[in-house]
Structure 1
Amino acid sequence: MTQEPRYRRIAEELRHAITEHAYGPGGKLPSEGALAGQYEVSRGTIRQALMLLRQDGLVTSRRGTRRVVLDDAPVQDFAQMQSFARWARSIGETPEGRVVGQGWHPADPNEQRHLRIDADARVLHVMRLRLLSGRPAMLERTVYPELAGTIVENLASDTVSVTEFLESAGIFVADAEHTIDLVLAAPEDAELLGCAPGDPLLRERRRSTDPAGVPLEWSEDRYVPGSVAFVVHNSLASTPMTRQHMVPGNSGS
């Protein structure tokens, strides 16, 4: 019988201690060196164990510091998914936003398909870092067609809610389609979100449309572990979500 790797046993012991509130939300785990001494293993073994805890969303992933135990992930139901700012306020957090990149580009075939626009159309790309009470929580990459883009491009870089601003301009979202999966953090994600490259991130891709069914945005949001959870309600009268098979190597973009 193959013996379970040491780092997995260490991760399980730490996971049990965390779930039993031995450290408490916001508490710090011992340093890598202290844990290595406690378990009489190398720091590399401890890092492997901590990686498993990061993947479970139990601890932070900042390198060079002691890992911090995360609170239970705030739950975001589907009725609040359209507006990050409204959801943040509903759970007692202060929403913040900062544009880190913006520009007009010719629409690529994928954007043409999702936004139902012509091949020669241009779109506005906006990358925005979202924070919960000062903590990086999500990196949002949104593509806007001409109508919404000409409004969004003039917003202040620290505008808290794009949705609320569009509503003030008479543009309302009536429907949205969401696809949720897991991706690994790219170097750009890691730098802005304060995680390590390769860390797992919850990804939500969303197409929003107005009351006439015209697409207003195509967005990809990447959340740091422990920052959000999604709840789906199903009933005999309503089935708002479908399960799809993901072919290996196919991102489903």
Structure 2
Amino acid sequence: MTRRHEEIADELRRAIADGGYPVGAALPSESELAATHGVSRGTLRQAFGTLQAEGLIGSRQGARRVVLAATPSQSFTELRSFAQWARSGGRTPGGRVLSSHRAPATEAEAAQLQLTPGDEVLHILRIRTLDGEPVLLERTVYAGWTAEAVERLPDDCESVTQSLYEAVGLVMSHGEHHLDAVAAGTVDARELAVRRGSPLLRVRRTTTTTEGRPVETSDDRYRPGTVVFTVRNSVQANPLARTAPTRTSP
């Protein structure tokens, strides 16, 4: 059963997405919103906490909460599947496999997946959607030992991460991400409904099991304006590193 603070978070999230509270605007005061929804301030603060964790609103002592973004963010402090991230923001995830084939691993793929060049890997091209709109094109290479389990999944599988866990107990627990911007190629433009050459946010990621065994490596390309990533750091812990760009094909 949905708890009251989750319902309030959903309502506020929709209002922000619809422009009722634009970016930069202050939300009504705690007392006003508590009266509007008929709840205590404690319940309301739980709803605020959810939206703050998603990067939608910010707070400062003695001031009203301010809208920071219209799109929930994915934080690198946690590893979640696309479907889990979408549902956390009140969106409906979807998608389908566009192509699938096995092939010998290239030297680069073998290095990323801790294989020997020539070992068999599985290539999957998958489009992801939010509320029916294309937002992400995934080019994923799975280590050969996972290929059979991945191929058994339906083409419109909502969450590969969750389905692999349920089917074979595979847990993807660690991820390394590299962000940059690329120009949309022919396939990107067609599947994401953008012009060829349009800027796309690219996230190259490699995911491993709890034992550190690589499961997949992927080149994920996001349509502009569909996702925000956040990195939280401090002088005590700094997960963000700058690296020189590498030459890769678009």
Hey, what does 1:195 align to over in structure 2?
194
Aligned to 1:62: none
Deviations 1:192-217 (A, max 9, x none): 10000000000000000111111000
Rounded Cα–Cα distance in structure 2 between residues aligned with 1:191 and 1:110: 27
Which residues of 2 match residues 1-253 of structure 1 at below 5 A?
72-168=70-166, 169-246=168-245, 250-251=247-248
Q: Does the 8 A contact of 2:201 with 2:221 survive in 1?
A: yes
Q: Where do 5+ consecutive residues of structure 2 fail to align?
A: 1-17, 20-68
Letter in 2 for 1:154: R
Deviation at 1:251, TM superposition (A): 3.5
- Shift of the alpha carbon at 1:236? 2.5
Whether contact under 8 Å (1:74, 1:227) holds in the other structure is no
- What amino acid is the match of 1:122? E
Q: Secondary structure at the match of 2:215?
A: strand
Asked whether the 8 Å contact 1:81–1:87 carries over to 2, the reply is: no
Is contact 1:80-1:87 (8 Å) kept? Answer: no
Contact conserved, 1:123 with 1:149, CA < 8 A, in 2? yes
User: Secondary structure, in 3 states, of the residue corresponding to 1:208?
Assistant: strand
CA contact (8 A) 1:177 1:207 kept: yes
CA RMSD of aligned residues (A): 2.0
Give the superposition deviation at 1:73: 3.6
1:78, distance to aligned residue in structure 2 (A): 1.7
How many equivalent residue pairs? 184
Choose between structure 1 and 2 for higher RCO, CA contacts under 8 A separated by at least 6 residues: 1
1:22-63 deviations in Å (ceiling 9; x for gaps): xx85xxxxxxxxxxxxxxxxxxxxxxxxxxxxxxxxxxxxxx
Q: CA deviation at 1:108?
A: 0.7
Query: What percent identity do the matched residue pairs reach?
Result: 41
Q: Tell me the alpha carbon deviations over residues 70-95 of structure 1, each in whole angstroms, 9 at most, x when there is no partner.
A: x8343211245540000000000000
Q: Indicate if the aligned counterparts of 2:189 and 2:196 stay in contact, CA closer than 8 A.
A: yes
Supply the distance in 1 between the matched residues of 2:141 and 2:233 (Cα, whole angstroms).
Answer: 30
Cα distance in 2 between the residues matched to 1:113 and 1:150: 21
Q: Which residue of 2 aligns with 1:64?
A: none
One-letter code of the match for 1:100?
L
Amino acid at match of 1:198: G
CA distance in 2, matches of 1:114, 1:91: 31
Unmatched tracts of structure 1, length 5 or more: 1-23, 26-70
| Structure 1 position 252, deviation (Å) | 9.7
TM-score normalised by L of structure 1: 0.69
Distance 2:115 2:184 in 1: 30
The 4+ residue runs of structure 1 with deviation greater than 4 A are none
The residue matched to 2:147 in structure 1 has which SS?
Answer: helix
